[in-house]
Amino acid sequence: MRKIASVALPPALDNLPRFIACVSQAARGQGLGERVGQVELAVEEAVTNICKYGGAPGAAEVEIVCLAGPAVLVVEISDRGRPFDMTVWPAPDVKADVAQRPIGGLGVFLIKKVTDAVEYRREGGRNVLRLTFRNRFPAI
Amino acid sequence: METVRIDSGDVTAIAFTGRLDAGTAAQAEEAVRAFLRQSDRGKLIIDLSGLDYISSAGLRVLIVAGKGVLQRGGRLALCGVRGNVREVLTVTGLGMLFDIAENRDQALGRLGPRASGAPGNPCGR
């Protein structure tokens, strides 16, 4: 895997367009044009979670690194916030009607739906979320 | 993102264009809440035909609209759902919960006849 793009910025929603621009360029460069919306969505949801719930705002940066392999784009998002492993987060009830729907809670669910793989590791005091997008239409 | 609101008779249409994401959702939510504050049993069309992208922050706005209209005895229809927006509504199951029309005209039809006394009701009842 080779590194094709990276960006490191404070965890603030104002920086969201710059995080998105980085991954969307990387996705297009890897021939994942049809999946750009999915890549942007997964990254927005992950970065938004860090901004809202990661703790210690301003104390550290969120770093995004895009890695390219054969027909695959991997996006690693890391932060120094409190440990959070979304891979073990319970799924919301997506069959509930509007009146029963909690307002919020769909972000993690969407990340899992639009990626081919989601992996988490805690490494040197950092959360590292690794999102894999293959160069094909995912089965969703 | 841009928000355009059109009031016509007893129906309000709000169109969101561009990207409805964590950065723009507050603006969209305010447009929805402004409608909810003013209307009891109101009819709302949310036109998404110009929307290129939606995230969970945007879905939250649609859920606020759906719950608010329901609580006030009103009606809500979405229209112009396409691309990423359609995909996100489908995978979250929200597409099943909303009345989704192809376009605004069809949405108007779904929301039923105009309220009595409103323009377009020849009997005025």
Q: What is the pLDDT of residues B92-111, one digit of tens each?
A: 999 888 999 999 999 999 99
pLDDT of residue A88: 87
List, for residues B41-81, the tens digit of each pLDDT value.
899 999 999 999 999 999 999 999 999 999 999 999 999 99
Per CB-CB distance under 8 Å, the chain A contacts of B70 are 98-99
Exposed/middle/buried for residue A59 (C-beta within 10 Å: 0-12, 13-18, 19+): exposed
Mean pLDDT, chain B, rounded, equals: 89
Decide if the complex's ipTM is over 0.90: no
> Rounded to an integer, what distance in angstroms lies between the CA atom of residue B57 and that of residue B68?
17
Contact of B6 with chain A, judged by CB distance below 8 Å, is answered with no
Q: Which of B66, B83, B91 sits opposite A140 (nearest CB)?
A: B91
Q: Which of A16, A44, A98 sits opposite B63 (nearest CB)?
A: A98
CATH architecture of B2-111: 2-Layer Sandwich (3.30)
Contact B93 A110 (CB under 8 A): no
